[in-house]
A = this chain, B = another copy of it.
Amino acid sequence: MSTIPSTVRITEVGPRDGLQNQPGTIPTDVKVRLVDALSASRPAEIEVSSFVSPKWVPQLADAADLLARIKRVPGIVYSVLVPNMQGLEGALQAEVEKISVFTAASETFNRRNVNATIDESIVRFVPVIAEAKKAGKQIRGYISCAIACPYEGPVDPQQVAEVSRHLVDAGVDEIDLGDTIGVAVPSDIDRLYDAVGTVVEPAATTLHMHDTRGTGLACIVRAMELGVARFDCSVGGLGGCPYAPGAAGNIATEDVVYCLHRMGIDTGIDFDQLIEAGRVIAAHLAGEGRSLPGRMFNARCAAQGLP
């Protein structure tokens, strides 16, 4: 227990990872209200969108417009995903503080996701990272399939450690380990950090859990016991799993923040404002007959007699 961090850094990924995995496209003005409401809840970081080709991810085609219209709150880091030099140019024009590059620990996944081997994708990032550094930006390196791959099954933690090493060598400031399909259990987190911990300090990594099988929070609690203090979450559990349509997606921010605050761990997040942010997107989804899956979000709304 004594190793548990007293402060945890939350990156709100709902506007990017959540909306990317929702069916259909959300109007930009709803996204602006969502991001502004999230800013009022004061997470450490908001991953706002992605400068990938609108052909690949039409849900996030309005990245530039969205970033121009949100009200940025000093102290919150606003970040975006960039797949290549063209994406970086968009990110620099939008004046974000941080960019994220992304690869995977599974060759099959990476080939299907970005049509490149893992090594090729990292080589491709080298000039992107150099240019971003020159512009004074922070750089996150995502590793998808850190636990398992939808095509290959379980992923060897040593492979995750190796990809982490390559990303650190390439110059990223932060390694983000994603359980992309939400299969992890606490013993997987032990094995993951046994391997990755030889390359980077657990405290220098971010864990990105999906709650597809209800195991996300148990894994986060275990990771905190190993010294991990940065987590990605999605407001209301916004999102889904592209490999199991209908299943839950990212771990819900409210579930994590409720648990951490009750355990005496500070996140800096204003919980009531976080619920308000969830209600912005819940109200929009209700119009399409859909709802948010987050447990704590629904419990709070139910307790307050809210829709």
| Residues in A lying within 8 Å of B, measured CB to CB | 1, 182-183, 185-188, 190, 211-215, 217-218, 220-222, 241, 243-248, 252, 254-255, 258-259, 262-264, 294-296, 298-299, 301-303
* Chain B residues, Cβ within 8 Å of A241: 299, 302
B182 touches A299 (CB 8 A): yes
B255 touches A221 (CB 8 A): no
A298 touches B248 (CB 8 A): yes
State the oligomeric state as a number of copies: 2
Known A187-B264, A244-B303, A246-B302; contact A295-B214, beta-carbon cutoff 8 A? yes
* Chain B residues, Cβ within 8 Å of A244: 299, 302-303
Closest chain B CB from A185 CB (angstroms) = 4
A212 touches B299 (CB 8 A): yes
Partner of A259, one of B185, B212, B243, B303: B185
* Chain B residues, Cβ within 8 Å of A190: 1
B246 touches A214 (CB 8 A): no
* Chain B residues, Cβ within 8 Å of A220: 218
A214 touches B296 (CB 8 A): yes
* Chain B residues, Cβ within 8 Å of A214: 211, 217, 252, 254-255, 258-259, 294-296
B263 touches A185 (CB 8 A): yes
B255 touches A295 (CB 8 A): no
* Chain B residues, Cβ within 8 Å of A294: 214
A213 touches B295 (CB 8 A): yes
A215 touches B247 (CB 8 A): no
